[in-house]
Amino acid sequence: MSRPTTSSQPIPLLPAVVCPRCRKPLHRTAPDRLNCEAGHAFPVFDGIPDLMPEAVLSEAPAVLTAALDLSVVLPAWNEADNLRVLLPQLRSVLAGVGARAEILVVDKGSQDGTAAVAAGLGARVVRQTEPGLGGALRTGFAVARGRFICTMDADLQHDPQHLAAMWACRQRAAVVIASRWIRGGRADMPLYRRLLSLLLNRVYSLVLGIPLTDLSTNFRLYRRDALQSVRFEGENFDVQEDLLVRLVNAGWDMVEVPQYHRRRLGGESHVQLLRFAIGYARTLVRLWRLRGAPEAADAEWRAYHSWNPARRFAEHRRVALLRATPAIGGESLYINCGSDPLLGMLPGAIGVDGRMNRLRWARREGRALVRASLAALPFPDARFDAVVWSESRDRLADTERPLDELARVLAPGGWLILRVVHLGHRPLLEALRAHGLAVESTRWLFGTQRVVRARKPTAGSGTVAGSAPARGSSGRQNSRRRSRGPSREETQPLDGASAP
């Protein structure tokens, strides 16, 4: 299974929206904010407006308060000799890219004068407060002041010249990884270590569903706000995979650039292979469970492309039923879109979700996106020709009266397509009738899930316009259906009454 790890195109501009508090039109007054005439202001993150009713625009967003462009974090333990070579090279590279930068050396308590050498060469020295590589990274991240944070080893195995290429890619993705195993990259290491690294990275990539070639390298460039959105675990070298999985689950995109991983020139390696391998095996089981969590940003995408044939069939059937609506076109709205591939299949669709990590991932579908609540959709009345609502399995993203807003934004003659999980059949049909919607069909998916299609009456008529046959149907099929009588599904009592 492969999937995109970065958004290759900017998301479209969101069409006219209204304030979820007062329903007055919203206008973009700055790249990162929307305002209405009543004075309500809402933030915009990476092109995605946050129009939750409770959203507050920070006058000083954390991502903009950093005094520097870049912080380079170097975990170090007895690396004095290597730092004498590395720090001048790193200074030269930073001057070449034109970034206002700082170098942080996180010292574990070295006995060879590492702290004195680093300070003498202009680096900030921070004493490591937690054990292991994970502790060094957490210490460095906590004190870094840059809008971007680069991590690299202090033993000269990471060539600082690659930082220029990584810096050039900083607008393409939230995480830039210098890979040894992507085309153009290479590693100068013993054969057994090369094979071990290739094997572990390949296994991790396949099991965790993360299409990257080098998940274990420490040579990375992060956006500060991406790091602030996750809390990672791990003490030893397995912290690298833990951090990546949490960033993927948070919806952040990633890109790889090639690097030449050099042989260690001085000092001693602190990698113990047996401990290293055992830690990786234990971590793989833990991270596999974490990747399968329902709150992961790409949960719907992974289900649609699952290696499990039964699960993949069920998801493809769900998408087919949601799409099989007569004349679905024009402007459509998909609520609780998550990472569902259906969003990219609906022409002119706008994706809505209350979970920002899902919306970050949905950027890959190339659709306009907005974070909003089903209790107060930020759209004018009768705006959309079709509205798709996928009831969340945990019900956390839904409201107790979901049809109120769905019916309001649906245009006369428009289609409402529902995938329901918890709502009972009879209460749902009664609620649809109460909102003046005519049920056209109901289809069972699996378990308690059903797809219900309803239509809003045309203005002033009180009835819905005649509907075209569903996609994929034909006159021959309709004739055959009439000749053999209605199916059990078609005779389902849609009004809640008993069948004759």
Question: Is residue 331 located within the same domain as residue 205?
Answer: no
Domain assignment of residue 245, yes or no: yes
Q: What is the pLDDT of residue 127?
A: 95
Domain assignment of residue 27, yes or no: no
Would you put residue 180 in left (φ > 0), alpha (ψ -120 to 50) or beta? alpha
Question: Is residue 342 located within the same domain as residue 256?
Answer: no
Question: Is residue 268 located within the same domain as residue 345?
Answer: no
Question: Is residue 274 located within the same domain as residue 312?
Answer: no
The whole model's pTM is what?
0.84
Question: Is residue 350 located within the same domain as residue 265?
Answer: no
Question: Is residue 305 located within the same domain as residue 287?
Answer: no
Question: Is residue 188 located within the same domain as residue 207?
Answer: yes
What is the residue range of 162's domain? 63-291
Domain assignment of residue 462, yes or no: yes
Q: What is the pLDDT of residue 274?
A: 65
Q: What is the pLDDT of residue 158?
A: 95
Q: What CATH number is attached to the domain comprising 254?
A: 3.90.550.10
Domain assignment of residue 7, yes or no: no
Q: What CATH number is attached to the domain comprising 402?
A: 3.40.50.150
Please tell me the total count of domains within the chain: 2
Domain assignment of residue 411, yes or no: yes
Q: What is the pLDDT of residue 336?
A: 93
Q: What is the pLDDT of residue 328?
A: 62
Question: Is residue 280 located within the same domain as residue 304?
Answer: no
Domain assignment of residue 34, yes or no: no
pLDDT tens, the chain, 500 aa long: 445 455 545 566 677 899 999 999 999 888 889 999 999 999 999 889 999 988 776 544 444 445 799 999 999 999 999 999 999 999 999 999 999 999 999 999 999 999 999 999 999 999 998 999 999 999 999 999 999 999 999 999 999 999 999 999 999 999 999 999 999 999 998 898 899 889 989 999 999 999 999 999 999 999 999 999 999 987 777 899 999 999 999 999 999 999 999 886 655 555 556 666 676 778 899 999 999 998 999 999 999 999 999 999 989 998 998 887 655 667 899 999 999 999 999 888 999 999 999 999 999 998 999 999 998 999 999 999 999 998 765 454 455 677 899 999 999 999 999 988 766 777 888 889 899 999 998 888 877 788 999 999 986 655 544 444 333 333 433 443 333 443 433 333 333 333 33
Domain assignment of residue 492, yes or no: no
Domain assignment of residue 257, yes or no: yes
Question: Is residue 282 located within the same domain as residue 316?
Answer: no
Question: Is residue 271 located within the same domain as residue 309?
Answer: no
Which of 267, 291, 315 is the last residue in one of the domains? 291
Q: What is the pLDDT of residue 447?
A: 73
Question: Is residue 399 located within the same domain as residue 259?
Answer: no
